[in-house]
Amino acid sequence: MLRDKRVVVVMPAYNAEKTLRRTYDEVMEHGIVDLVIVIDDASHDQTMAIARTLPKTIAHRHPENRGYGANQKTCYRLALEAGADIVIMIHPDYQYAPKLIPALASLAADVYPCVLASRILGGYALKGGMPLWRYISNRFLTLVENLLMRAKLSEYHTGYRAFSRKLLEQLPLEADSDDFVFDNQMLAQILWFGHTIGEVSCPTSYESGSSSINFGRSVAYGFGCLRTAATFFLARLGILRSPMFPRNSSKPAATA
């Protein structure tokens, strides 16, 4: 609980047995998280068995692998059903520092409806072991997306985010992909509805247990991000209609 607001941390998990407990322990050590929700997307290891042993945790398993986006949809649905006022999404692969939980929760409680933990701010991405090709593609995609969506984010591709309940209830997430591009589409929707997105710098660690999509999937993700930004741009001009960007919403706004 943070200033009378219920804080729920969600973890979209897949084959995370090596790092799940470590991530969980550091998430809970701050004393402000009321509940953790682990959604196992049909892992082939002991992720679900470990999740079931964690206190103050809801462990849910998809009977088949539905994809990263579908996993997050389940995360947010269960978090809202559990009465969350603030929802923080962190990958259970220990790529991101759980020490930022209090900062993210505090900002999402009173300042921004969405807060991103950016690997780019502070120059942590390459220092933490991000492959150079991934860093270059991150910077290129972010530049194009900022231009097309008139935003000023340092990156769109972090898997560490905080949201207010009111924001999650507003977004048409079911219109988004069930695959990796869901992350990108969700941020585009937040901008579409006119909300400000805050950012904090975040140390990262690309260890052997950290999840990462391969080069082929990364290329598909990149094209998906460009398609999302182009759809946003054309929808704003009134040239294209998309269920992701309903026309009866507020005009896009700047970011912080």
Residue type, 29: E
Mean pLDDT estimate for the chain? 93
Q: Is residue 242 part of a domain?
A: no
217 versus 241: which is more confidently predicted? 241
pLDDT at 255 over 60: no
**How crowded is the C-beta side of 247, counted as CA atoms within 13 Å?**
9
pLDDT band of residue 208 (cuts 50, 70, 90) is low
For the ranges 119-133, 169-183, 214-228, the lowest mean pLDDT is seen at 119-133
In a domain, 20, yes or no: yes
State which residues form the domain around 183: 7-236
Average pLDDT over residues 76-104: 96
pLDDT value for 217: 85
Lookup: tokens for 82: 């559990």
How large is the angle between the packed helices 132-149 and 182-192, nearest 10 degrees?
A: 30
Whether 17 is in a domain gets the answer: yes
pTM over 0.75: yes
- Span 138-151, average pLDDT: 97
Would you say residue 210 has pLDDT above 60?
Answer: no
The count of structural domains within the chain is: 1
Sequence-distant (6+) residues with CB within 8 A of 24 are 11, 36, 54, 57, 92
Q: Which amino acid appears at position 100 of this protein?
A: L
Structure tokens at 191: 């901008």
pLDDT-derived band at 101, boundaries 50, 70, 90: very high
For the residues 223-250, what does the mean pLDDT come to? 93
Whether 248 is in a domain gets the answer no
Is residue 247 situated within a structural domain? Answer: no
Residue 1 lies in a domain: no
Give the dihedral of Cα atoms 117, 118, 123, 126; nearest 10 deg: 100
Q: Which residue has the higher pLDDT, 126 or 117?
A: 117
Tell whether 12 is covered by a domain.
yes
The domain that holds 113 is classified in CATH as 3.90.550.10
Residue 115: both structure tokens together: 């807060």
Is 243 inside any structural domain? Answer: no
